[in-house]
């Protein structure tokens, strides 16, 4: 695609003083040293031409075939920018028809009646691959010869960059060829995919000068890491290795080289999310990958990484691509000839049979079989939880109103008789005062009836007094039980009534639940497949999560006959009692129980569960 010179920069240069023609040569050599590409070099030459000649347009062309000419750079001032296409067509026609022996081609171009221009062109030749041309306004110049001299002088050096680039590329190509020959020869001597891959990545790292090189192969749309430079061994399950393989699969899908981050001046629509993730995980700033192809089939992927931000040069890209083309067939052959695991095992056994180590390996094998028959303690591992051995409920003794509570859930009662709550006795006291007043009144009436010898009224009063005495005794009994006390020492399991002050309670309503701490009940939840090996009297140990490192001995006292489901697993509950003299243990603590189920051969301990699973699945 043609590149246009920015008009503003040219106009800025036109405002300055014109260059001295004697300094043109030194300026051109300066351009030659500082230009990174042919386009940059040609652009600077056209800027010089416009500044020296004040031309209305300046162009550079390159011939790709006998009849096809490509415009490399172009500049048009605002006055003739609208006629750019027609002017370029006329210039290309002139260049196609001109003879090589001519030095400068002068022609006249008329855009419309009022606009006429001189076109000055340098024709193509065997020595000159680039043609320069300028467009001069006829009305603005008196004579054309000085402009022809300037154009001829500058055009004479336009081919210097191509000549320098050709010589440099020749040297680089020779060096790359020698490196590739040495690389292939060294890998061929390995005769092993692992050794050859490790040789490839180390040599490429030294040659490119990057921090790390990774090589992997593609099989059935999946990538597999082969080698990492500087790392003879690596963990294939590490996140970095997975990130390498994801980046390789991304390169496989794109089927083109991928660079992260992309150069700001050459950004393309490419998927590089895996490369970005690789850079974040591996702490590399620049990642460059390219595929390894054998007859359009992708068999592997290179990945080159730099710690610092690195601008990948054209020479580096050419070297990696040339190397990829050369080593891909060799890598493909090594992958196809890679021996499978069974083949390697048989070959190793044959070698051992012909060496003194064979007897040693036989001894190791027999020792292994003997060790597998030795009896070891078979421990059944199960989840366990502490429960109270006894639960006591503390209930309201009569209907009343809760006035105050002195304990809450989790509090420890140190001794029996501890006051736990207080009921409101005001209403009872009022009732008691009323009943006592009523009794005094009836007593006085009975005395008057006795004095008046009214026997019937006297006996009725005595019966009413007896009834009032019973009620008074009942209320006095209630008043003596306003304080609700703990029947045992232990811990409060339930009964958080701090926010229930003033709430009515009924007779028998459970207010608190207590459990003693001196003994605890251990519930062991053994899986159904292990219940056949458990029985009463088996001993074991428990380790609680809240008391790590302490093993508490237990002995199974009972096994519930019916299983239950916990966390989608069918379990049987085994129970054991343990002492809690220091009150360290608390209800609800969880941990792991190990039940000693006797001695079994080592092979049975290791294999009985897989064997039982196979029997269940295959029904034999």
Distances (CA, A) of 72 to 16, 69, 118: 26, 9, 21
Note the pLDDT of residue 524. 92
Residue of 177, 193, 197, 287 whose CA lies nearest to 243: 287
Over residues 558-612, the pLDDT tens digits come to 999 888 888 888 899 999 999 887 778 888 889 999 999 888 888 888 888 888 8
List 600's β-bridge partners, or say none.
376
43, two tokens: 């652009």
Count of CA atoms in the C-beta half-sphere (13 A) of 569? 12
List 363's β-bridge partners, or say none.
none
607, two tokens: 């294999």
Pairing, β 69-76 against β 3-4: parallel
Report yes or no: 130 and 60 within 8 Å, Cβ to Cβ: yes
Q: What secondary structure letter does DSSP report for 399?
A: S
* Phi-psi group of 151: left, alpha or beta (phi > 0 → left; psi -120 to 50 → alpha; rest → beta): alpha
HEC per residue, 295-344: CCEEEEEEEEEECCCCCCCHHHHHHHHHHHHHHHHHHHHHHHCCCCHHHH
Residue of 319, 327, 299 whose CA lies nearest to 186: 327
SS3 (DSSP) at 562: coil
Residue of 468, 484, 473, 471 whose CA lies nearest to 398: 484
Predicted TM-score (pTM) of this structure: 0.37
Report yes or no: 180 and 321 within 8 Å, Cβ to Cβ: no
Note the pLDDT of residue 455. 76
Element (H, E) at 543: strand 539-544
Q: What secondary structure letter does DSSP report for 371?
A: H
List 121's β-bridge partners, or say none.
105, 133
Q: Which residue ranges in the chain fall short of pLDDT 70?
A: 1-26, 66, 99-103, 112-114, 126-128, 156-178, 180-181, 185, 187-188, 190-191, 264-270, 295, 337-356, 496-500, 502, 620
Please report the DSSP string for 9-46 in residue order. HHHHHHTSPPPPGGGHHHHHHHHHHH-SSHHHHHHHHH
HEC per residue, 38-75: HHHHHHHHHHHHHHHHCCCEEEEEEECCCCCEEEEEEE
Residue of 103, 99, 92 whose CA lies nearest to 62: 92
Q: How far apart are CA 547 and CA 586, in angstroms?
A: 11
For helices 341-353 and 357-373, what crossing angle results, to 10°?
Answer: 110
Over residues 394-413, the pLDDT tens digits come to 777 777 777 777 777 777 77
Element (H, E) at 253: helix 239-254
Q: How far apart are CA 300 and CA 325, in angstroms?
A: 11
Q: Which residue has the tokens 């209907």?
A: 399
**b/e code 9-29 from CB counts within 10 Å (16+ = b):** ebeeeeeeeeeeeeebeebbe
Please, what is the average pLDDT of the chain? 79
Report yes or no: 32 and 14 within 8 Å, Cβ to Cβ: no
**Residue 26 phi/psi, 5° resolution?**
-65, -35
SS3 (DSSP) at 284: coil
Note the pLDDT of residue 75. 85
């Amino acid at each position: 695609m043609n590149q246009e010179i920015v008009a503003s920069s040219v106009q800025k240069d036109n405002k300055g003083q014109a260059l001295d023609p004697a300094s043109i040569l030194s300026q051109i050599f300066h351009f030659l040293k500082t230009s990174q590409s042919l386009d940059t070099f040609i652009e600077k030459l056209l800027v010089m031409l416009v500044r020296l000649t004040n031309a209305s347009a300046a162009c550079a062309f390159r011939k790709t075939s006998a009849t096809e000419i490509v415009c490399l750079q172009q500049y048009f001032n605002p006055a003739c920018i609208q006629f750019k296409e027609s002017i370029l067509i006329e210039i290309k026609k002139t260049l196609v028809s001109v003879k090589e022996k001519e030095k400068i081609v002068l022609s006249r171009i008329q855009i419309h009646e009022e606009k006429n221009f001189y076109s000055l062109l340098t024709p193509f030749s065997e020595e000159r691959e680039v043609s320069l041309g300028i467009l001069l306004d006829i009305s603005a110049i008196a004579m054309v010869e000085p402009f022809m001299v300037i154009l001829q002088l500058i055009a004479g050096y336009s081919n210097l960059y191509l000549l320098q680039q050709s010589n440099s590329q020749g040297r680089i190509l020779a060096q790359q060829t020698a490196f590739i020959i040495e690389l292939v020869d060294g890998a061929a001597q390995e005769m092993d995919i692992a050794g050859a891959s490790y040789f490839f990545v180390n040599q490429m790292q030294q040659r490119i000068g990057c921090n790390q090189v990774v090589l992997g192969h593609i099989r059935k749309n999946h990538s597999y890491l082969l080698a990492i430079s500087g790392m003879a061994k690596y963990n294939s399950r590490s996140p970095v290795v997975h990130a390498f393989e994801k980046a390789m699969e991304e390169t496989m899908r794109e089927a083109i080289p991928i660079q992260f981050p992309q150069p700001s001046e050459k950004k393309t629509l490419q998927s590089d999310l895996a490369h970005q993730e690789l850079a974040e995980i591996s702490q590399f700033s620049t990642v460059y990958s390219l595929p390894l192809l054998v007859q359009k089939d992708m068999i592997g992927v290179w990945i080159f990484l730099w710690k610092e931000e690195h601008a990948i040069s054209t020479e580096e890209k050419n070297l990696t691509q040339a190397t990829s083309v050369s080593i891909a067939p060799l890598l493909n052959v090594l992958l196809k000839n890679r021996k499978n695991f069974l083949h390697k095992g048989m070959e190793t056994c044959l070698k051992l049979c012909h060496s003194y180590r064979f007897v040693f390996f036989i001894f190791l094998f027999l020792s292994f079989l003997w060790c597998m028959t030795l009896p070891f303690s078979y421990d059944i591992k199960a989840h366990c939880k502490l429960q109270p051995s006894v639960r006591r409920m503390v209930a309201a003794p009569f209907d009343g109103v809760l006035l105050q509570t002195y304990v809450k859930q989790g509090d420890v009662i140190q001794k029996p008789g501890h006051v736990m709550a207080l009921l409101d006795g005001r209403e009872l006291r009022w009732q008691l005062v009323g009943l006592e007043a009523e009794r005094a009144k009836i007593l006085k009436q009975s005395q008057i009836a006795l004095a008046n010898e009214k026997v019937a009224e006297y006996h009725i009063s005595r019966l009413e007094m007896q009834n009032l005495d019973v009620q008074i005794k009942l209320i006095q009994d209630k008043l003596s039980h306003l304080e609700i006390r703990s029947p045992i020492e232990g811990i409060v399991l339930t009964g958080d009534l701090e926010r229930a002050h003033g709430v009515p309670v009924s007779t028998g309503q459970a207010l608190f639940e207590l459990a003693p701490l001196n003994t605890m009940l251990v519930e062991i939840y053994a899986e159904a497949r292990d219940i056949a090996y458990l029985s009463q009297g088996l001993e074991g140990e428990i380790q609680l999560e809240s008391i790590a490192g302490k093993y508490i001995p237990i002995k199974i006292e009972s096994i519930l006959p019916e299983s239950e489901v916990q966390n989608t697993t069918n379990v049987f509950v085994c129970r054991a009692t343990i002492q809690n003299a220091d009150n360290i243990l608390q209800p609800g603590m969880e941990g792991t129980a190990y039940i000693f189920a006797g001695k079994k051969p080592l092979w049975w301990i290791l294999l009985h569960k897989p064997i039982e699973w196979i029997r269940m699945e295959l029904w034999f």
